[in-house]
Amino acid sequence: MRPTRASACLTMVCVDGKLSVTMNLGSKRYVVDDPAAAQEWFHARGWSDGLPIVVPTEALVRACLDWALMTPDQLIGIEPVRERVITAEKVAINAVMAGCLPMHFPVVVAALTAMLREPFVLHGATSSTGGCAVLIVVNGPIRRELGMDATFSVLGPGDRAAMTIGRAVRLVLMNLLDVRPGEVDRSTLGHPGKLSYCFAEDEEASPWLPLAEERGVPQHASAVTVMAAGAPRQIMNEWTTDPAALLDTYVAEIKASMRHYSIWPGNYAIVVPPQLRAHFDAAGWSKADIREYVFRHARVRRDEWATCGKGAVVGDKGEREHAALPDPEHLLVIAAGGPAGGFGAVIPPWFGKTSQAVTMAIGACVDCEG
């Protein structure tokens, strides 16, 4: 491979008597004759996540930028701890590598913009030994435009948009912020969501308001919600239609996470598939009712740590009660999953309320005036 360098300068072209101005891409170019060699080139330099990548040609990168109406040097944000600059061009390169189509690119940009907001604590969430991943939940019309499927195997493979969007965010973290295992990423174990952890909410089949709308995004606007999250913990209850009893199963899993992992309160997410949603709807339970119930019941006493080998940290505080949620609004209730089965999932936070979930409208201008 032979590297070449192109400066980020303006190119002016006269077409039909009109002057057109475009911004050249500023990234280093590499010329390769063999596509297979390109794969090895990327792997050898740590520029992939271990899976094959799509070679980011200039045409593919420009297509992403053009779709989002972004210039190559447009600032997405600055990582606050090490002050790494993240531009649209660099994000587009990694999105192409992940397999994104141009129409996926605005979702990637929105997710990264949300992650760069102060409450998310990007550096802490991506460098911790705790091994969390970035959960991305997509709401609004863009789900249909991208053909996202919020039903069967919603937390698994198969959805092209979800898989590539989540992977693009991971590649950006690795290649722009050095969040690679053993470098900035100090995860002891990690979990599979570090490859891709993205899915859409099933708004059409839900009796409830979409997650993003509940969190302040206007109705019918497209948005993402990002959360520093542990691996999903699946639950099952097919033996009751009582909403309280169903939530007791979710609560039991949340309390298990508090005992076995972290006792500190933060954002939890629960995924509620159609069979369970039908029971809540029949009883007239809203998302607000669910949040309030979980807030009141997902609590453990500190001396419960002694039941799972952590008695040494109980001390004289055994009677102290710890809530999973600082308040009901810290529970993200997400409608998604296949149509059959009394299953659900609890997605725990990285480390209490150190990092907060952030919701961002897709296409929002964060620093615009007015």
The tens place of each residue's pLDDT in the chain, 370 residues long, gives: 443 333 333 333 334 444 333 458 999 888 877 888 889 999 999 999 999 999 999 999 999 999 999 999 999 999 999 999 999 999 999 999 999 999 999 999 999 999 999 999 999 999 999 999 999 999 999 999 999 999 999 999 999 999 999 999 999 999 999 999 999 999 999 999 999 999 999 999 999 999 999 999 999 999 999 999 999 999 999 999 999 999 999 999 999 999 999 999 999 999 999 999 999 999 999 999 999 999 999 999 999 999 999 999 898 999 999 999 999 999 999 999 999 999 999 999 999 889 999 999 999 665 554 4
pLDDT, position 32? 79
Is 25 a domain residue? no
**Shared domain check, 187 and 291:** no
**Shared domain check, 344 and 276:** yes
pLDDT, position 367? 56
What is residue 21's three-state secondary structure? strand
Is 6 a domain residue? no
Beta pairing class for 85-87 and 75-78: antiparallel
pLDDT, position 40? 92
Alpha helices in the chain (DSSP H): 35-44, 58-67, 88-98, 105-115, 122-127, 142-145, 160-177, 211-214, 243-260, 274-282, 287-297
Is 353 a domain residue? no
Is 35 a domain residue? no
Backbone φ and ψ for 232, nearest 5 degrees, come out as -65, 145
pLDDT, position 29? 87
Is 71 a domain residue? yes
Is 33 a domain residue? no
**Shared domain check, 129 and 83:** yes
Q: What's the domain range around 253?
A: 233-348
